[in-house]
Every structure is written in C-alpha cells, then in structure tokens.
Copies of this chain bind each other. A is one copy, B any other.
Amino acid sequence: MSGMAEQTADQAPDGTVAGKRRGRPRDQVRHTAVLQAAGDLMIEGGLAAATMEAIAARAGVSKQTIYNWWPSRGAVALEGLMVRADPLADIPEDATAREAVRLLAVALVRLFVSTPAGPLLRSLVADAQSQPEIAQALRDQWLTPRRDAVVAILERGVARGELRSGVDAALVIDHALGSLYYRLLLGHEPLTEAAARRSVDLVWEGIERRG
C-alpha cells in the first residue's frame, strides 16, 4: 500500500515545514474527527459497523473528504490505531532482558484488553487477510517497530551474558508475544497479564543461559 504510506507519512508535517503546497491545506480538525469516528465505530460494533458512510456521518464529514486522504477503510483504521496506541513502552535501561520482555508482554496485553487497540487490531488483521496492502502496512508500521525493540533487548541480553548466543530472535518474539496475538485473534484462552508473564517465562526457561 504505497499510497497509504504516503498518506500517513505526510500527516505530521502539515504545512509548517513541508514544501509549500498549493491550494487549501488539509483541515486537521476534520482529519482527526475521521480517525476518532472510525476508531469509535470499530470498537462499538466491530469492523462491520465502521462503514464509510457511518464514519463520514459520525465525523460530520463528507465521504469524499475521507477518500481524499485515505485509499480504503483499512488505511483509516490503521492510522486510527497508530494514533490511539501507546508509544513504544519505555523500558528501564538497567532491566534484564527477561524483565524487559515481560514488561512489553504485559503492556501488550493491557493494550489488547483495556484500550481500543485490541478490537482495532482484530479488524486490521482480518482485513489484512484479503488485502495485501493492509497486511504490508500493518507489518511496516505496527509490527516491525515493536519487533525491532525486542530484537534490541535480546541482543543486549546476549551481550550481557543473560542469554545463549545464537538465539533466534524472530522465533522468540513469535513465541513470547505472538502467542498473545494468537489468543487475541482466536479467543480460545483468556488474555491476562499473568498469562503474558508466564508466556515470557516459558520462553526464558528455554533460552536462558544455564550455569
């Protein structure tokens, strides 16, 4: 979804810094109202309730205005997600890798169960199954930054001698955090903070260096 990337990319530099664009600048108030409305509707009634007409009506905006700035419903949702989700939780520098990942796992569960991001992510992943651009954007803008943070933590852990060297970071993340996504999407087991901690523990007792 190259178009989407462009769209969301130029949202921050809204005229102040960027090269002067001709014509009327985007109305930031309306822009925000759309994201707000889309997010609200998805939370209330799931993906199905967040029709373009409903978003436009709730935001007090015309449909065309939405299509002007986003190529699809998924793009709106993704941007809404980024706006609502926490910034990358900041982890104490001196925490052990295990503690750090635990903090991230717990933060993720909190995000899933007590913020709008949970339902939003479910909708986005659903959309991603049939729309490759959504999938790509989801990976690029949501997943990768968070995975990179964990990779850094793990590398630090290896350097500090907390972990075995040769750890497959991607696999570790897929276990420690991926299993939480799995529960979010399939709903076969409850999503609790305790479960998040146990998930990390399970991985650790496998990858931790042993005397």
Residue positions of A touching B, CB distance < 8 A: 46-48, 98, 122-123, 125-131, 135, 138-139, 143-144, 147, 161-164, 167-168, 170-172, 174-175, 178-179, 181-183, 185-189, 195, 198-199, 202-210
Contact = CB atoms under 8 A, between A and B. Distances in A.
A133 B11 CA distance: 38
Number of chain copies forming the complex:
4
Contact of A47 (B129, B198, B199, B204): B129
Contacts of A125: 125-126, 129, 185-186
A15 to B, nearest CB: 21
A87 to B, nearest CB: 21
Contact of A163 (B131, B161, B204, B209): B209
Dominant SS among interface residues on chain A: helix
Given A163-B207, A185-B185, 6 more contacts: A126-B129, A162-B209, A175-B175, A175-B199, A178-B179, A205-B207
Contacts of A122: 129
Given A125-B186, A139-B187, A185-B185, A46 B172 contact: no
A130 B46 contact: yes
Contacts of A210: 164
Nearest to A185: B125
Q: Which of A138, A187, A207, A210 has its CB near the most chain B CB atoms (within 10 A)? A: A207
B183 A174 contact: yes
